[in-house]
Amino acid sequence: MNSPVSLPLFQSRVVPVIVVTDPAQAVPMAEALLAGGVDVMEITLRSAAGLAAIEAVARAVPEMQVGAGTVTRASEVAQVLAAGARFGLSPGSTPELLAAVLAAGLPFVPGVASPSEAMAARAARFTLMKCFPAAQLGGVEVLKAWGGPLPDLRFCPTGGVSLANMGSFLALPNVAMVGGSWLTPAAAVKAGDWAQITRLAREATDAVAALQASR
Ligand code: 3PG
């Protein structure tokens, strides 16, 4: 990966997209995901608890590669680094945001929804991008189409990805990993049903392994 920042830092090809409402949920969730073979979390800044949750995981679960998601403003870059995020992701990208992550040296996955946006991110030296919202944009067919003129770029489709369709995304040569919220359902998190989260993570990890073995 020749991005200015080297990604992936993690083994998992499935990235859980997480909204925490209470920072105390973060550490048991991290442990539950690890128990299911998922060593990465995208904890989003969509809730006020996001930064504290990142900090808790970074401190207590060092084997988890904790990233900050929904980083949409340049001013958030210093905050997520201070919290201990090892990388960041965004649903989009602006020149200000990309300049801030490059200046800070934060490994980063900018979001793109068109070839022009992907080319702008590539011009800023990023080669791994989040394709968002993947299913709503047209899913697998869109990524297949982008692979023709932009074969050097790699994508993490997110938005509408699930256990049922992740295999068709991961089978594409330009898809490095997929992201989604299905691994950490809000009801399970609220109930503290960590066994369910381990089960969902294991199911996804096993599906990725089966896909790789069938190649
Ligand atoms: C994201 O920000 O990546 C998405 O909101 C996750 O989309 P999903 O809920 O459809 O998985």
| Residue 88 Cβ < 6 Å to ligand 1 | no
pTM (whole model) above 0.75: yes
Question: How many whole angstroms separate alpha carbon 173 and alpha carbon 169?
Answer: 9
Phi/psi for 9 (5° steps) reads -95, -5
pLDDT of residue 1: 38
Q: Does 42 qualify as catalytic in the annotation?
A: yes
Instruction: Write down the catalytic residue from 31, 55, 76, 130.
Output: 130
Grouping H, G, I as helix, E, B as strand and the rest as coil, residue 24 is: helix
What is the residue with the minimal CA distance to atom 3 of ligand 1? 158
| DSSP 8-state secondary structure symbol assigned to residue 23 | G
pLDDT for residue 45 is more than 50: yes
pLDDT of residue 198: 98
> What is the mean pLDDT of the segment spanning 122-129?
94
41 within 8 A of 66, measured Cβ to Cβ: yes
Please state, as a whole number, how many other Cβ atoms lie within 10 Å of the Cβ of residue 2: 9
> What is the mean pLDDT of the segment spanning 159-181?
96
* Atom number in ligand 1 closest to CA 69: 2
Grouping H, G, I as helix, E, B as strand and the rest as coil, residue 92 is: coil
Six token digits for residue 7: 């990604």
* Atom number in ligand 1 closest to CA 180: 11
